[in-house]
Amino acid sequence: MHRIDTDAHILEALDALVGIDPRLEAVRARAGEVPLRRTTPGFASLVSIIVSQQVSRASADAIEGRLVRLVNPLTPDAVLSGGEEPLIAAGLSRAKQRTVLALSCAIRDDGLDLEALCALDADQAIARLTALPGIGPWTAQVYLLVAAGHPDVFPAGDVALQAAVADALALSERPNPRDLALLAESWTPLRAVAARLFWAYYRERKGHEAAPLP
């Protein structure tokens, strides 16, 4: 499957997913619009995802809004020049401060190219990203989904996806990341679109957005 770059790609992939797993036809009917969810690859996009780790969408939006006002432009050099103070003022946790600073150093000093990573095989890109301090599978997978348009990544550690899949498929309990990843294998090679579908389903069921971006 090609990269997911347009709304037409989403519609094409949703049709294919229903063919792969007929249970998803009812999920699609309940989910309403399934957004493309794409951002520009690069530092600002990955920082936004780091900010979104383990907080609500509303909290992440507020923190990011403060951050881009305090560090403008939001670049590795600007982050390193400002140091910890603007990151603290924006509301980043100590762990996220360390991650953003480490990422900035990796780009400036080690030549990490976040745009080039998007052209790699998903497993290779995830391995490179998760080698950085504070970047785990969820962060790497979400970056590849929204910034690179990879069609077949599924952030099984996402709590909203766990809840949405449990509700939509009438599971007896919310699956843990390992079990959800195993379940999602049946949606290969379109797991990234399945993730978009279940985020949209969650939005319609809960009445608020839970997808990390955008």
* Chain segment 158-211, per-residue pLDDT in tens: 999 999 999 999 999 999 999 999 999 999 999 999 999 999 999 999 999 999
Distance CA 162, CA 155 (A): 10
Q: Minimal CA–CA distance to 213: which of 139, 146, 136?
A: 146
User: Are 2 and 172 contacting, i.e. CB atoms less than 8 angstroms apart?
Assistant: no
Tokens of 161: 């996806």
pLDDT above 70 for 155? yes
Backbone phi, then psi, for 175, in 5-degree steps?
-70, 145
Token output for 24:
């998803």
Domain residue ranges in the chain: 7-38+152-206, 43-148
Binned at pLDDT 50, 70 and 90, residue 1 comes out as: low
Q: What is the CATH number of domain 43-148?
A: 1.10.340.30
Q: What is the pLDDT at residue 212?
A: 83
Alpha-carbon distance 124 to 171, whole Å? 32
Q: Domain 7-38+152-206 carries which CATH code?
A: 1.10.1670.40
CA dist., res. 25 & res. 34, Å (int) = 13
